[in-house]
Structure 1
Amino acid sequence: MPASLSSTKTAAALRTSARASAELLLVLVAVSAALWLLGRMWSVVWPLIVGLILTTLTWPLARFLRRHGWPPALAASVVTVVFLLVAAGIVALIAVPVASQSGELADGVVAGIQRVREWAAGPPLNIGDAQITGAFDTAVARIQNSIGSMVTAVVTGVSTVINGVVTAVLAVFLMFFFLKDGPRFLPWLTRQLPGRLATDVPTVAARSWETLGAFVRSQAFVGLIDAVLIGVGLWILDVPLVLPLAVLTFVSAFVPIVGALFAGLVAVLIALVSNGLTDALLVLAIIVVVQQLEGNVFQPMIQSRGLGLHAAVVLLAVTLGGSLAGIVGSLLAVPAAALIAVVWNYLREQLSTPPQEPDTDEQDPTTAVPS
């Protein structure tokens, strides 16, 4: 005779499920409210994020100067001036030529897509499906429309330019204060928080800072190596637009997985249009070799402690960030996921049950020495 369900256990299970669902709903509401508040304060939060990222790049030099007896204010001032000079040099030597060739770069990508479409329509593929042809036409039209929109925004978007300048100025000032007063922040935070929070919040903040700094510095260095190696390969093959493609490779390195695929696709399309199929395949081979060196040599050497995120998590984070906030979301997705992982790991450490210590009072009979 089959066993009947226990009404007491069923009611208890339903109450537990209802309580868990209500708690989960409250957590989701709190997260939604936090995200809404973050969006409303984005004009302040975005300069703060940029300032933190710049601080992670410049902190090693400031720390070196402070350890050699420089006053904090003087060290922060020197590092800030050096950073501004380097940034101005980059704008003068790289950004101006890249901006002057950006239209040619975009036209080359569109022409490369059209070239691929024509190749797919001929032998041996002989793809003649009208839907596929329409999809290619739609993609080309969207790219052209996007280019026109971007040019229009650059020409007429005065408010956007002003907001960008204000963000940059605020970020530089915040970087200066972070460099000068950053080491005093955690002790001050500890004194302001009550009870258990005085230990938990500074610990999570310190771990988050280490993770963010490791990610930004390692990605910048690896992106620089990729840009130099791929740029040299493009220069040897006499592919046009070497400097814009190298800069695109460096910037794309901050978007793991997806960024490398995008930069490589653009380089191959430019080589296909300008130099032909043979050079395009050679460019593809160079990119594959460089990416293999990055994944198997550069990253393990430069970033000894990874972010602790699986490649699938990184890919999903970049996709979600891009769909929610565009380019900014793609850039911030992986650091945000890494910081969430830091908080989760700390919570798991605090909530886990410590291992049972062996009872030293009871003697193991197998090791007892007979009297």
Structure 2
Amino acid sequence: MSATLSSRKAAAALRTAARVSAEALLVALMAGVALWIVGRMWSVVWPLVVALFLTTLTWPLTRFLRRHGWPPAVAAGAVTVSFVLLVAGIVALIAVPVASQSGELSRGVVEGIQRLREWAAGPPLNIGEDEISGALDTAMARVQDSVGSMVTAVATGVGTVFSGLVTAFLALFLMFFFLKDGPRFVPWLTRQLPGRLAVDVPVVVERSWYTLGAFVRSQAFVGILDAVLIGLGLWILDVPLVLPLAVLTFVSAFVPIVGALFAGLVAVLIALVSNGVTDALIVLAVIVVVQQLEGNVFQPMIQSRGLGLHAAVVLLAVTLGGSLAGIVGSLLAVPVAALVAVVWNYLREQLGEDSPEPESDEAPAPVPVTS
């Protein structure tokens, strides 16, 4: 009797495992199809994502103006124009001092190359002048042989820059409409959905909007922290262009991995050509320490608090996103993980024994209305 009962339990367990496995495979298949569709529509999805990020930064000011009697279109237009002027001012803040000292920096680069040649000619390398010249001639020959590849790379770079400009303009237009018509989106969405979806989907949309805002604010705080710490180190070492480098560090904090590497490289290069090798190495050490603190301490702690995610989840999400989609994957990994957590928590609330009715007392997400 016990053997028969045991076999029945085993068969039931196998059927349950098979059903769960089939359902998991179906969910994975649908997720793969959704990602494929997003990839095919990426030229539209990416400006939309950028516009949402920009809207989370500018929505508090727009909300303040609207509450003080400004018409929605006027408030959205004023905030959008102010944002564009702010970005242009930041670019000018970085470009003008660099251009004014470009001559000094170029002379410093030439002197640095000459020092490098003198160092290579002395002990312990003892590389002769003929060998250095031969190496330079070989490098020039390789450059000449690869002119076609360089032209192709330049053309690709020009296309990338043009695509980036188109994305930026489209994102700004979308941001304006999000700021203008956003509060009408959730009521409109409620009227379009049938039955229980008219309650559940708007609540998830609102919670996702608050989570996205928390991500952008936490990333901005991390960028300010990096800019202050690295700028302080540059100021102590009396490196020129401290303010532009600090602004560049803040802006690059929104682009994972590559942004930090680019800002650090610029800072080390300027320290090298202006202050010498010793200060350049010190700047490099400061940047490495700050970046390690940011990636392993500040960013996981701040984002885990603002997004409701554990620090280990943040680290794993960034690692997985970077391995799957590179820089863009690293940028979107944390907010995507936070949005998945929002949906999961809401499902747990609704599937619980005593699930409360969803309520909302905040302004809805600023996204556009389509009638």
TM-score (norm. length: structure 1): 0.70
CA, structure 1 residues 206+58, in 2 after alignment: closer, same or farther (shift >3 Å)? Answer: same
CA, structure 1 residues 298+8, in 2 after alignment: closer, same or farther (shift >3 Å)? Answer: closer
Contact 1:222 1:299 in 2 (8 A): no
Deviation at 1:335, TM superposition (A): 1.3
Higher deviation after alignment, 273-282 or 82-91? 273-282
1:165 alignment partner in structure 2: 165
1:202 alignment partner in structure 2: 202
2:224 alignment partner in structure 1: 224
Contact 1:267 1:283 in 2 (8 A): no
- 1:248-285 CA-to-partner distances (Å, cap 9, x unmatched) read 532443367x6898579758965689644577457646
CA, structure 1 residues 252+51, in 2 after alignment: closer, same or farther (shift >3 Å)? Answer: same
CA, structure 1 residues 10+303, in 2 after alignment: closer, same or farther (shift >3 Å)? Answer: closer
2:344 alignment partner in structure 1: 344
CA, structure 1 residues 316+293, in 2 after alignment: closer, same or farther (shift >3 Å)? Answer: closer
CA, structure 1 residues 281+167, in 2 after alignment: closer, same or farther (shift >3 Å)? Answer: closer
Contact 2:219 2:299 in 1 (8 A): no
**Higher RCO (CA < 8 A, seq sep 6+):** 2
Match of 1:185, SS? helix
2:234 alignment partner in structure 1: 234
1:45 alignment partner in structure 2: 45
The letter for the 1-side match of 2:27 is V
TM-score (norm. length: structure 2): 0.70
Deviation at 1:291, TM superposition (A): 7.7
Q: What is the RMSD computed on CA atoms of the aligned residues?
A: 4.1
1:74 alignment partner in structure 2: 74
Identity %: 70
1:63 alignment partner in structure 2: 63
- 1:101-147 CA-to-partner distances (Å, cap 9, x unmatched) read 8x99xx9xxx9xx9xxx9xxx9xxxxxxxxxxxxxxxxxxxxxxxxx
Higher deviation after alignment, 81-90 or 55-64? 81-90
Q: How many angstroms apart in 1 are the aligned matches of 2:205 and 2:265?
A: 38
CA, structure 1 residues 154+58, in 2 after alignment: closer, same or farther (shift >3 Å)? Answer: farther
Q: How many angstroms apart in 2 are the aligned matches of 1:290 and 1:166?
A: 31
Q: How many angstroms apart in 1 are the aligned matches of 2:97 and 2:160?
A: 22
The letter for the 2-side match of 1:72 is P
Deviation at 1:68, TM superposition (A): 0.4
5+ residue gaps, structure 2:
125-148, 356-371
Match of 2:307, SS? coil
1:212 alignment partner in structure 2: 212
Q: How many angstroms apart in 2 are the aligned matches of 1:77 and 1:294?
A: 36
2:10 alignment partner in structure 1: 10
Match of 2:189, SS? helix
1:91 alignment partner in structure 2: 91
The letter for the 1-side match of 2:55 is T
Q: How many angstroms apart in 2 are the aligned matches of 1:304 and 1:246?
A: 25
Deviation at 1:352, TM superposition (A): 2.5
Q: How many angstroms apart in 2 are the aligned matches of 1:213 and 1:198?
A: 23
The letter for the 2-side match of 1:317 is A
- 1:82-114 CA-to-partner distances (Å, cap 9, x unmatched) read 11111221222225767998x99xx9xxx9xx9
2:333 alignment partner in structure 1: 333
CA, structure 1 residues 310+297, in 2 after alignment: closer, same or farther (shift >3 Å)? Answer: closer
Q: How many angstroms apart in 2 are the aligned matches of 1:286 and 1:267?
A: 11
The letter for the 2-side match of 1:40 is R
